[in-house]
Amino acid sequence: MTSDATSSLNRTRWLQLVFGVICMCMIANMQYGWTFFVNPMQERHGWDRAAIQVAFSIFIVTETWLVPVEGWFVDKYGPRIVVLFGGVFCGLAWVLNSYATSLTTLYIAAALGGIGAGAVYGTCVGNSLKWFPDRRGLAAGITAAGFGAGSALTVIPIQNMIKNQGYEAAFFYFGLGQGIVITVLALFLMAPKKAQIAAVAAKVAASVKQSVREFTPKEMLTTPLFWVMYAMFVMMAAGGLMATAQLGPIAKDFGIADIPVSLIGITLPALTFAAAIDRVLNGLTRPFFGWVSDQIGRENTMFVAFAIEGVGIYALSVLGHNPVMFVILTGLVFFAWGEIYSLFPAMCGDAFGSKFATTNAGLLYTAKGTAALIVPFTSIITTMTGSWHAVFITAAALNILAAVMALAVLKPLASSHGKRARAQGATKPVAAE
């Protein structure tokens, strides 16, 4: 490939990455902004908190479990039409939330939002894996960072709008704006041709082993490697989703939500401060640990990050009643959690190839939906026990277990998977391991 062709390719693929990141920013509030609406909805309608959080679980389940279907459309027809569809559904969902006067309507809106957000999320992550076979960890991390940190700039505006105009107005105007931006950017998205990325695919660090063949989704599902990754994804996602959905209620129950906290020259109420910092760190961790994994390997990076997450969650349960520690520790928890959305997709692309990367990564991403089913039970357990301690301890234990599994189970299994694939050749289907 000539230098001009290489420069043109790099411009194209980085521009595609930017489009994907902006789209991810636009759907970020649908998950990370949700916590600000829970208490206002409870106060307005008298709905039980656990019943409201069912909507969050519906959103996560539809956002994740339908991604393989949406991924199939992406792999077959390209990213443009799928993201366009997702943008329309995302905007419609929050507009419908603004008019919801019953839990049924809230649940319908959650399903529509999940379908739309999943179409955008799965497409953008899958597209980044295809455009950057040489830097999958970094590219998936940067893309996922848009989802993790995309709501950081809107934390204060959303809270102010809820306070001054009501939560309905925040749902309506932010939903409409987010949907419009996604539908416009969708028109510029495209997938790479095989010849475009053949040259860069060879520039992979020795510490990252990539498959010599393309696994179909059906073939991938027959491998133990996929299911070990799936189980670890569920373990890690459960604790993080609990913190994401329940951050507001946790701060309220700890009695520190509105207490001013001064850090790095900024003074804000503890919940607002924590939410803003959490979004930023949850975004930064994805490209950071993605880049680290490109250098030292996915499994080694998982061990470090997952262990930090487990310690952070436990410390939050013990020290979180202090408003300053609440802000610091929630930041640590989000920093050590967000990287799962770069590490697992990158490893999926490494192990099972690029051709079906969107569908395959989508199948793995359904683990987030499985983990979301646990979220409503955290409110029930807290009500029964009178504190968040049991929930925190369980989440911390799952994270430590996942850290140990990264080295003791996943790493040797991935190695044997790669050797078997290479031994059987680049075209011959690989049987169940």
Instruction: Record the tokens describing residue 10, joined without a space.
Output: 């790099």
Token pair of 319, please?
């020290």
Match 């393989």 to its residue by tokens: 68
DSSP 135-173: SHHHHHHHHHHHHHHTTGGGHHHHHHHHHHH-HHHHHHH
Distance from CA of residue 233 to its chain's centroid?
11
pLDDT in tens, 389-429: 777 888 888 899 999 999 999 999 999 998 888 776 644 44
Specify the pLDDT at position 185.
96
User: How many Å apart are CA 218 and CA 229, to the nearest integer?
Assistant: 16
Residue 359: both structure tokens together: 């569908």
Superfamily of domain 3-424: MFS general substrate transporter like domains (1.20.1250.20)
Tens-digit pLDDT profile for residues 41-97? 999 998 988 899 889 889 988 988 888 888 889 988 899 999 999 999 999 999 999
pLDDT at 377: 75
Residue 131, class by beta-carbon neighbours within 10 Å (0-12 exposed, 13-18 middle, 19+ buried)? buried
Question: Which secondary structure element, helix H or strand E, spans residue 272, and what is its range?
Answer: helix 270-296
Short-list 26, 61, 51, 142, CA closest to 105? 51
- Helix, strand or coil for residue 268? strand
Neighbour tally for 119: CB within 10 Å: 32
- The rounded distance, in Å, linking the Cα atoms of 285 and 95 is 31
Domain map of the chain by residue range? 3-424
C-alpha 391, offset from chain centre: 21
Question: Residue 431: what pLDDT?
Answer: 40
Is beta strand 266-269 parallel, antiparallel or unpaired with respect to 260-263? antiparallel
Q: DSSP state, 193?
A: P
Report the interhelical angle of 49-65 vs 67-77 (nearest 10°).
Answer: 30
Can you read off the two tokens belonging to residue 130?
A: 């295809």
Query: How far is residue 56's CA from residue 31's CA, in Å, rounded to a whole number?
Result: 8
Give the C-alpha separation, 93 to 183, whole Å. 14
202: how many CB neighbours lie within 10 A of its CB? 9
| φ, ψ (nearest 5 deg) of residue 321 | -75, -15
Amino acid 432: pLDDT: 38
Using a pLDDT cut of 90, give the percent of the chain over it.
42
Name residues of the chain where pLDDT drops below 50: 426-433
Radius of gyration of the chain (CA): 21
Residue with tokens 């955008």: 120
At 411 the pLDDT is 95
pTM, two decimals, is 0.76
Tokens encoding 142: 């940067």
* pLDDT value for 197: 73
Burial of 39 (0-12, 13-18, 19+ CB in 10 A): middle
Which residue has 């030292």 as its token pair? 296
Residue 363 is predicted with a pLDDT of 93
366 close to 338: Cβ distance less than 8 angstroms: no
Q: In angstroms, rounded to a whole number, what is the distance separating the alpha carbons of residues 307 and 334?
A: 13
